[in-house]
Structure 1
Amino acid sequence: MNNDIIVSGRIRRLADAWEGRLERWIEHDREAVWRMLTERQQFVQWLAPGSFELRCGGRVHIDFGDSGVVIDSTVLAFDPPQLLAYSWSSGDEPERPLRWELGTVDGGTVLTLTVLLPAQEDIAKACAGFEAHLDMLAAALEGVPIRFPFERYVAARRAYQEILPR
């Protein structure tokens, strides 16, 4: 594996799916990170324009205009400021649940993102994309939002492909 590329996740194969678990320690309190995950004016800085109805069963709409991808799903779990889950899917697409968990530790926050994908989909691509978005989230928390770090994404995707369970 290329030791110059650090990825924060682990991948495991389940019976009919892939699970990616990414973990980051963030030097900001849990409430600040929670606002980045749930408030429209905050998550647009690191994810994409959209909206959440902040309740179980609430609507999730995220519009990645540049790529043409639009997410329309529902909130699967909601327990502020520690848990948010929704599917990264639209319409009749397979479910791709995302689970954001926030814990307080050492004056900061541990953010754990769990991504589930159907077995035939590219978990390395998904995890690499979220590595890039987590970098964007960290920059936005520092008050210096950045554009999608494409080179980071490409390098992380290669690193994840190398650690895929066979």
Structure 2
Amino acid sequence: MNDDAIQVGRIRRFAEGFEGCLERWIGHKQETVWRMLTDPPQLVQWLAPGSIELRKGGRVHIDFGDSGVVIDSTVLAFDPPRLLAYSWSGGDVAHRPLRWVLDTVDGGTALTLTVQLPAGEDIAKACAGFEAHLDMLVAALEGVPIRFPFDRYLAAKRAYGELLPE
């Protein structure tokens, strides 16, 4: 895969860190995409085993197994089937808010994912990882789940690295 195939989002730098914004149009109904983001049997097909208590303040637990990464946080915003936000972190580490917004557009769903990281962390790596997981999400929606696309991740990491503001 070449870097031209990457649908690069945007990266902004703030005093306290970075924000990456990824956008996708997905040819499935908003409610179907929402279930992929929130239903444990569907979540595991494109992200990792986990569960999300579907209410503001609800528990978010996602376990990436062999990598040792465990997300254990709370739902920060909840407005089904349009908005879900939680921190992409666990325990006493810095908050890394994720915000998923779904809108019905042109017979499908416009998905906007916003991820924030503290200063000193690798926003290009985070955005690249989510690009790969969004590919996995779309594949799962099409009924052909795929493994983590490492080549896609590497190409996206290069492309996002070029976006980093000086």
TM-score bracket relative to the smaller structure: over 0.9
Q: What's the CA shift string for 1:111-136, capped at 9, x where partnerless?
A: 00000000110000000000000000
What pairs up with 1:36-115 in 2 under 5 angstroms? Answer: 36-115=36-115
Which whole-Å deviations, capped at 9, do the CAs of 1:75-114 have from their partners, x for residues lacking one?
A: 0000000000000011100000000000000000000000
- TM-superposition CA deviations, 1:124-151 (whole Å, max 9, x none): 0000000000000000000000000011
Deviation at 1:16, TM superposition (A): 1.0
Residue in structure 2 matched with residue 155 of structure 1 by the alignment: 155
Contact 2:8/2:160 (CA < 8 Å) preserved in 1? no
Query: What TM-score, normalized to structure 2?
Result: 0.97
- Structure number having the greater helix percentage: 2
Q: Displacement of 1:163 after TM fit?
A: 1.2
User: 2-side partners of 1:95 and 1:7: how far apart?
Assistant: 26
Gaps of 5+ in 1: none
Q: Post-superposition, which runs of at least 4 consecutive aligned residues in structure 1 deviate over 4 A?
A: none
1:116 maps to 116
Paired residue secondary structure (1:4): helix
User: CA shift at 1:14, angstroms?
Assistant: 1.1
Equivalent pairs: percent with the same residue? 78
2:35 aligns with 35
Q: Distance in 2 between matches of 1:64 and 1:71?
A: 8
1:11-30 to structure 2, matched below 5 A, reads 11-30=11-30
For 1:38 and 1:147, the matched residues in 2 are separated by 20
Residues 3 and 158 of structure 2 are in contact (CA less than 8 Å); yes or no, is this contact kept in structure 1? no
> Match of 1:112, as an amino acid?
T
CA root-mean-square deviation? 1.0
TM-score by length of 1: 0.97
Q: What does residue 134 of structure 1 align with? A: 134
Determine helix, strand or coil for the equivalent of 1:126.
helix
Determine if contact 1:7/1:159 at 8 Å carries over to the other structure: no
Partners in 2 of 1:144 and 1:57 — Cα distance? 33
Amino acid of the residue matched to residue 42 of structure 1? Q
SS of the residue corresponding to residue 135 of structure 1 reads helix
Structure 2 residue runs without a partner (length 5+):
none
Equivalent residue number for residue 145 of structure 1: 145
1:15: Cα distance to partner? 1.8
Q: Give me the whole-angstrom Cα distance separating, in 2, the residues matched to 1:84 and 1:98.
A: 8
